Every structure is written in C-alpha cells, then in structure tokens.
Structure 1
Amino acid sequence: MADLITDYDSTGEDADKLDVTELIGTEEITQQNVGDYFQLSGGILSFDQDGAGTNHNMVQVMEFASPPAQLELIVDENQAPVVVTA
C-alpha cells in the first residue's frame, strides 16, 4: 500500500521536496532519465527500481490527496532535486 500524502505543496520558493534516496539505492537518476524511474499520474507517484531495465515494473509508492502538477525529488544529497511532471 502506498503512502497517502495530504499536505504536499508544490508552489513557491518553499515548495516541498520529497527525499526518495532510500528508494533508489545506487541508481544514478538525473533530470534526463527521471522518467524511466518515476511517473506521476492522477495523483499517484510510481517507481521502477531499475528504470529502463526489464527486471522490474512501476509500482505505486505514494498517493496525493490533492494531485500536484509536478514533484521535486531529492535523489542525491549532492545534486539539485529532479522534477517529475504529471
């Protein structure tokens, strides 16, 4: 069962950012390949453990009470967040 997020704010300078470092392990996720790993659709965030690989499929990891148009994801503490759009 996915976590239900009820208070995510994707607007302004103080927009929320989701730390997904525990999900991704050692995968190197960038703005260019984030869509291989994460999808945002209808208020559901899904994750594929191996991105474009064939060993895993997308699984639902979060659901948003108010579907955001985009999410900022922290994938590495040493790089800027990546953005996933619906």
Structure 2
Amino acid sequence: MLKPKKKRPLGRRELIDLPALALRGVEAKVDTGAYTSAIHCDEVRLAPDPATGQPVLHVRLLDPAHLIAVNGAGVSPRIDLGLHA
C-alpha cells in the first residue's frame, strides 16, 4: 500500500507560477474543492515595466456581481494552462 504524501497546508492566499503564461509570483486564492479555477478580470494587456522593460500583465479585476451564472447564461472563456494534478 502506498503511503499518502504529506499534505502542505495552504493559506488564504498563495503565490503561484503560471509557466504557460510566463507569469511568476501571482497572488491566488486556493479553492481545494473546485474542478477548475477562475481569474475574474477584464481589460487584460501586457505592457513593458518602465524600470526593467520586462512585460507585465495588467488586468482590471471584476467584482462578484459580474460572474456568469452556472446555467450558461453568458460566455465564459476558458484556457488550459496544463496544470493538471
């Protein structure tokens, strides 16, 4: 019988890396019961950082009132980042 891996406790917010988007140190909320994850934002754009010239992701976060109903009323774009357990 396999011994279960020791589980790492998760905090309210964690810093995550999204290599498929070339993003590191993104603050994220972890929902251990979710099948997928969501980033609720609008006006997504990459712009160079004035100090380093490196691309920086800029977004306008949406409040929960903008969430789309589970019954499919609306469009919910989805991308696969290859982060499968």
TM-score (norm 1): 0.23
Structure of greater relative contact order (alpha carbons < 8 Å, 6+ residues apart):
1
TM-score (norm 2): 0.23
Over alpha carbons, which structure has the higher Rg?
A: 2
